[in-house]
Amino acid sequence: MPKRILIHSLIFSPDGVSTAYLYDDIALKFKESSYEVIVLTTTPHYNVVESQLSAQPLKWKIWGICKESCFQGIRVVHVPQKKFKNTFLRVLGFLYWHIVSFLVGLSLKNIGVILSPSPPLTIGVINLWLAKIKGCKTIYNVQEIYPDILKRKDGFIISLLRKMERYVYNHSTAVTTIDQVFYNTIVGRFKDKSKLHIIPNFVDTELYNPRKGNTKFLDANLFPATTSLKLLYAGNIGFAQDWEPLIYLAEKTRGCPIEYFIIGEGVMKPLLEKRVCELGLGSIHILPYQSRDLMPSILAYSDIQFIFMNPEMEMQGFPSKVYTIMACGKPLLVCSGKDTPIVNFLQEYNCAKLITEKDIAEKVGEMVNWLNEVSKDELVSLGRNGVNVIERLYAKDVVTKQYVDLVKSL
């Protein structure tokens, strides 16, 4: 009987979001390494991509309870979930998913290891209960640090989450996190520090590389030919990013041959669109979500990729798009504090301009000066440095093997 591993994740294919793509590749690596893989997840609700849904259709397994699909030979069980706007309905749906996924997990036989990413923290608790009943091992992957990432820092709920965090860390067989900053932040919360391992995120260099970028595939109405310096952000337009520096930067460079492109969806998009309209910032173009297969072309269209981290959340998250950008040979313009995960990662690779000033006027002033001074040759050199680092340390095959090796070691 082949070794059997359960990947229990809030997000998985055919949902079109970075965590899904990350765990798609991890699941395929385990399959390639002779493991029988089962995935327990939700129905697509975060970013529904019709082409991916057509390629991986879902069918009811137990009507009203769960659906099933097949992802490249891997069985995927989906518990219904929707992205409700109403807070009460969101909480209700979240509770429903936990209860049903626990019951479905109980029905799965001969599981040797359960692997799951955060968020949510509660998934780690569910897996520990399943593991105790089934006599298997658990690996909890810390992609974001809860409850640290939340705005509130005290109160009954925060206290409860901190107890839950320590329970998950100290009762899991192993815990992984994505970089040294995250490791340093949480290692003191472990009784047995040897349980904590660093396994970085990664990028599919077969899809993302400088050779894949062909701008002829792009819609010329959305991505017009221009001689302007093009700064681009593609991803979730949410709270993890700081949008004020962008607005300020666009105001300071008004009339300069510089354009800004923001691609994606998210809760902050309407507010950002409103601010751009009110201020008449014609250099900022806010575009809808684009399919993943177009991303190498979109990256090739840009001169610089920018990421401005929200100061309130910059210590608890690391945008995986950093790997994608580097793999495609594009330089980054990053605003984040000193010793944050993204700055800690990039500072030694010479592939990004890092702005660590806290004062908005100072950080924007530094960006304006750099944009006015940087040459095309310098940008190409920064991008080339990023490609070399990715191919050496963060390619898909290099990192996914670390997950397989960790499971073998258990």
- Could you tell me where the DSSP H helices lie in 374-410? 376-389, 396-409
Q: Do domains 3-202+395-409 and 210-393 have the same CATH topology?
A: yes
For position 150, what pLDDT does the model report? 72
β-strand partners of 307: 334
Going 353 to 358 to 363 to 366, the CA torsion angle's sign is: negative
For position 151, what pLDDT does the model report? 64
For 87-114, the DSSP string reads: HHHHHHHHHHHHHHHHHHHHH--S--EE
Pairing of strands 74-79, 66-71: antiparallel
Cα of first residue to Cα of last residue in the chain, in angstroms, is 18
One digit per residue, the tens of pLDDT, for the chain of length 410 reads: 468 999 999 999 998 888 888 999 999 999 999 999 999 999 988 878 888 889 999 999 988 889 999 999 999 999 998 877 788 888 888 899 999 999 999 999 999 999 999 888 999 999 999 999 999 999 999 988 887 777 667 788 888 989 999 999 999 999 999 888 889 999 999 999 999 999 999 998 988 998 887 888 899 999 999 999 999 999 989 888 999 999 999 999 999 999 999 999 889 999 999 999 999 999 999 999 888 889 999 999 999 999 999 998 888 778 889 999 999 999 999 999 998 989 999 999 999 999 999 999 999 999 999 999 999 999 999 999 999 999 999 999 999 999 999 999 98
Contact of 137 with 410, CB cutoff 8 Å: yes
For position 390, what pLDDT does the model report? 95
Task: For residues 213 and 301, give the distance between their C-alpha atoms in angstroms, rounded to a whole number.
Answer: 8
Task: For residues 364 and 366, give the distance between their C-alpha atoms in angstroms, rounded to a whole number.
Answer: 5
If one looks up domain 210-393 in CATH, what number appears? 3.40.50.2000
User: Domain residue spans in the chain?
Assistant: 3-202+395-409, 210-393
Which DSSP state fits 268? T
Contact of 266 with 242, CB cutoff 8 Å: no
CATH 3.90.25.10 given to domain 3-202+395-409: no
Per the document, the length of the chain is 410
